Structure 1
Amino acid sequence: MSDRHTEELADPARRARGMGGSVRRWWRQSDQFDWFTVYLRDRGLQRQWRLATFGFTAVLAALPIVLLGSPVGPDHTLTRAVAVTSAATGAGASVLWLRRWPTRNQSMIFNAVCSLSIAAMCLAMSNPYNGLMGCTLFAAVGGFLAYFHALSHMLVNLLVAMLCSAITAARLLGESGDVSLTVAALLTVVALNVGVPFGIESLVHTLRTDLRNSDRDPLTGLLDRRGFYHAVHELAVNRPDGICLNVTMLDLDDFKKVNDTHGHAAGDDVLVNVAVVLRHTCRADAVLCRLGGEEFVIADTDGPAKHAATVERLRREIVTVPFGVTASFGTCTVTADPGSARDHPRFVDRLIEVADAAMYRAKRAGGDQIHHRHLD
């Protein structure tokens, strides 16, 4: 068999593996609440989103009360009580957005309350057709989850929507015997609950990828300052209690001599090589950034011993970069849970300030050294 024929046979297998890898990455992607929250905050859009979410939720919460006066609405004491409870919980959930921007957990509770309230309202309808068509409202919850949360959360909402739709469709078919009407209504519900959330999820995933690629230094390919702030904010908020968060500043010693002696092209070559050292030495999920000039910053969640070993390895590896440059390092470690401090806009600034001060102490001591600081 020729090599060309072998390659042609192997191509579909490679494509299948690549597709399988893409599906796995899509399934495993993390919750999007933190980065999208920062995205909206940086653009001054949080207030508009809060008011829009409050208004939309409040209107939906009013629907069960309005339908109490309709002959197709709840017509028994129990179903009327369910409708009133559904309206009250929905109204309570809407107030959350009127007061302030919620935390991730509060947002998850909000979505769960909305999903269960919609299910209760649909099942309480005396007319099963109205109940089935009311299941289209799950698409709004799914769309919100697509913006702010993970794929698994969307699928749970979709499961609730499909279960509620199946119950109301069975009621409609049993009472009317109209197969065509039932199938048409059910297809409408399924199309909206699949199309809207997954369409938004695809758009937001693409937006996130583009934003991350745009927040990069063109010379080294590392994150720039804005990208670093966003990435570390996610890292800090997602960090479990008791796990270390480390920020390491490094500044190349006497870098100006390289530019003055060998030219700016040589200086750029040194910066690119330092970026390669950072990528090869730091853990895969570390946040790597070139702040500007010859300053770099790293964030990771290693324990104290492993972090110290990594920084020492970095110090030794940078000495091997062309033109014999060295670097001064300053590290800042947070080990105790800072609670609400990590949600503060200046939390990342404070970590960088402490690491920067430690780095300048290393530089004043002669360079090619590491100074550690711990932030309570």
Structure 2
Amino acid sequence: MARWGRVPGRHADQYDWISAYLYDRGLQRLWRVTIFIATVLLAASTALMGFSPQGPGNRLTTVICFVAAGSAVAAALPFLSHWPTRRQSMAFSLTSSATIAAACLSYSNPYVGLVGCATFSVVGGFVAYFHTLREVNLNCGVAALCAAVLAGRVVAKTGDAYLTAAALAVVAALNVSLPFGIESLVRTLRVDLRSSGRDPLTGLHNRRSFHYSVYELMMRHHGSGAHLIITMIDLDNFKHLNDTQGHAAGDAALIGVSEALEKSCRRSAVIGRAGGEEFLVADVVRQPEPEVHAERLRQAIANLPVSVTASVGTASAPIDGDAATPNLGLIDELIRAADDAMYQAKRAGGNRSCHNGQL
């Protein structure tokens, strides 16, 4: 049975598939603007505290406060111009955690700083939505350390342990419930999307899920100088197999082909059933050799014990270009080009492969 995504060690990182999910629904721009505006507002609150008697108490802590505000805005700038890479997103979350810590610890009134630790939950929510549980725990750890230091200062200054405990309870509730609630929700959403994206017979991606997964693949390799290669596979005379041996034999052939494709492709490859007797394979490679790749898949199908062969078409293109992030349009273009190449192979008699080098 096909394994979803086929990329070991990536299941915990949500950035690529969330990016594809938002792109497909036209929501990336809304998220970019929202994240940038929220960051600017939080940075403004930090800067404004620089003028408050409860804020930083000397020149050094005032400078820290303003540097923290400026750093947060600078880290959010990629969201203003384009959908950031995973690395830029991680830099934004780490910078945000560091600037919140610096600002809260710089306030002369420790109670204000302690209450300000609730802001870590905003970063925690972002990390839980886009990244991994490890980053969520890291953000919570920084929040807990800052809150502990500031709680000690509050008790030392006021002697009011009850006030301190009440503030700690609010900070803890927000920094635990919000990030971990979002993390649990996103994991559940991904499982549901995966289940709905499988072809029930072969276990491969259906066409919509194939697009999502290829977009994830492109996101992971964007900026590496790699090429995306897409292969369209159509079984020859499949209708004749169904008519002469029955649909059970046809289903067995489809399952056999899906297993042969999995064994013949790299683990990074995305394999889907496009419909009927058509299959799609996508992979990202540094040195594209589409003819070799296509011939390997064709031969793997021809070697099956069932009497079936395949016409194979491929197309490839660099995934970087001028765009800041990959796009689903390139996937559609390559599928059309691979489909044209596949029909060239079929018109030439089938059981052969062709490459469309136009892109």
TM-score > 0.5 by shorter chain: yes
- Determine if contact 2:155/2:164 at 8 Å carries over to the other structure: yes
Deviation, structure 1 residue 319: 3.0
Deviation, structure 1 residue 271: 2.0
- Determine if contact 1:142/1:193 at 8 Å carries over to the other structure: yes
1:71 aligns with 2:68: no
1:155 aligns with 2:137: yes
Deviation, structure 1 residue 165: 2.2
Q: What does residue 84 of structure 2 align with?
A: 102
1:112 aligns with 2:94: yes
Q: 3-state SS of the aligned residue for 1:71?
A: coil
Deviation, structure 1 residue 374: 5.5
Range 199-208 or range 28-37, more displaced: 28-37
For residues 70 and 226 of structure 2, the distance between their equivalents in structure 1, rounded to whole angstroms, comes to 40
- Paired residues in the alignment total 352
C-alpha change, 1:341 and 1:294, in structure 2 (3 Å) is farther
* 1:257-276 correspondence to structure 2 within 5 Å: 257-276=240-259
For residues 120 and 74 of structure 1, the distance between their equivalents in structure 2, rounded to whole angstroms, comes to 11
- Determine if contact 1:50/1:98 at 8 Å carries over to the other structure: yes
User: Which sections of structure 1, spanning at least 5 residues, go unmatched?
Assistant: 1-24
Q: What does residue 7 of structure 1 align with?
A: none
Q: What does residue 46 of structure 1 align with?
A: 28
TM-score, length of structure 2 as denominator length = 0.84
> Partner letter of residue 283 of structure 2?
D
- Determine if contact 1:89/1:117 at 8 Å carries over to the other structure: yes
C-alpha change, 1:133 and 1:272, in structure 2 (3 Å) is same
Q: What does residue 15 of structure 2 align with?
A: 33
> Partner letter of residue 350 of structure 2?
G
Q: What does residue 323 of structure 2 align with?
A: 340
C-alpha change, 1:89 and 1:303, in structure 2 (3 Å) is closer
C-alpha change, 1:191 and 1:374, in structure 2 (3 Å) is farther
> Partner letter of residue 230 of structure 2?
V
* 1:166-205 correspondence to structure 2 within 5 Å: 166-205=148-187
Q: What does residue 20 of structure 1 align with?
A: none
- Determine if contact 2:215/2:327 at 8 Å carries over to the other structure: no
Q: What does residue 229 of structure 2 align with?
A: 246
Instruction: Return the structure number with greater relative CO, CA threshold 8 A, min gap 6.
Output: 2
Q: 3-state SS of the aligned residue for 1:340?
A: coil
For residues 91 and 283 of structure 1, the distance between their equivalents in structure 2, rounded to whole angstroms, comes to 41
Q: 3-state SS of the aligned residue for 1:126?
A: coil
* 1:1-376 correspondence to structure 2 within 5 Å: 29-93=11-75, 96-239=78-221, 241-243=224-226, 245-301=228-284, 311-321=294-304, 324-334=307-317, 338=321, 340=323, 343-372=326-355
Q: 3-state SS of the aligned residue for 1:83?
A: helix
Q: CA RMSD in A?
A: 3.2
Structure number with higher helix proportion: 1
For residues 256 and 304 of structure 1, the distance between their equivalents in structure 2, rounded to whole angstroms, comes to 37
Residue-by-residue CA offset, 1:204-230 (whole Å, 9 max, x unaligned): 112112112211222322111111111
Deviation, structure 1 residue 324: 1.0
TM-score, length of structure 1 as denominator length = 0.80
For residues 107 and 304 of structure 2, the distance between their equivalents in structure 1, rounded to whole angstroms, comes to 72
Deviation, structure 1 residue 231: 0.5
User: Which sections of structure 2, spanning at least 5 residues, go unmatched?
Assistant: 1-6
- Determine if contact 2:294/2:313 at 8 Å carries over to the other structure: no
